[in-house]
């Protein structure tokens, strides 16, 4: 799977296109550019496709929900800040480095 800073692999892009086309087909017959907007939103927020929980497009605004539960909206060309690791994955990377307070340390 692609990481944050890597380019999206063609097979992943095709999967996103299929999902976007399936969801957009229910709402409108014109689905040109919808998958590209979702991919652009993921790149802008620094979300790898493996951490994309759900996405939708309404009136030219892409809404993506990450595995971390963060819901963000993106319009084409917006300048946004990248999300932190917890908002993207739902896992705190600093948690494993904490000192054990009670009991034995695992490992």
- Looking at the chain, the number of H-run helices and the number of E-run strands are 3, 3
In a domain, 56, yes or no: yes
In a domain, 5, yes or no: no
In a domain, 1, yes or no: no
Q: How many domains does the chain have?
A: 1
In a domain, 106, yes or no: no
pTM confidence score: 0.60
Question: Is 70 exceeded by the pLDDT of residue 95?
Answer: yes
In a domain, 75, yes or no: yes
pLDDT tens-digit series, residues 7-63: 444 445 555 555 555 554 444 444 556 688 999 999 999 999 899 999 999 988 999
Contacts of 83 (CB under 8 A, 6+ apart): 45, 46, 47, 66, 68, 70, 72
In a domain, 103, yes or no: no
Question: Is 90 exceeded by the pLDDT of residue 68?
Answer: yes
Q: Whole domain around residue 49: which residue ranges? A: 10-86
In a domain, 24, yes or no: yes
In a domain, 96, yes or no: no
Whether 60 contacts 77, CB under 8 Å: no
């Amino acid at each position: 799977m692609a990481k944050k800073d890597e380019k999206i692999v063609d097979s992943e892009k095709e999967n996103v296109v299929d999902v976007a086309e399936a969801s957009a087909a229910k709402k409108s017959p014109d689905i040109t550019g919808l998958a590209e907007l979702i991919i652009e939103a993921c790149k802008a927020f620094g979300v790898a496709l493996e951490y994309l929980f759900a996405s939708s497009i309404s009136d030219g605004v892409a809404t993506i929900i990450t595995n971390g539960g963060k819901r963000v909206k993106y319009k084409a060309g917006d300048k946004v800040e990248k999300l932190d690791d917890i908002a993207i994955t739902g896992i705190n990377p600093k948690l494993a480095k904490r000192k054990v307070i009670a009991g034995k340390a695992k490992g």
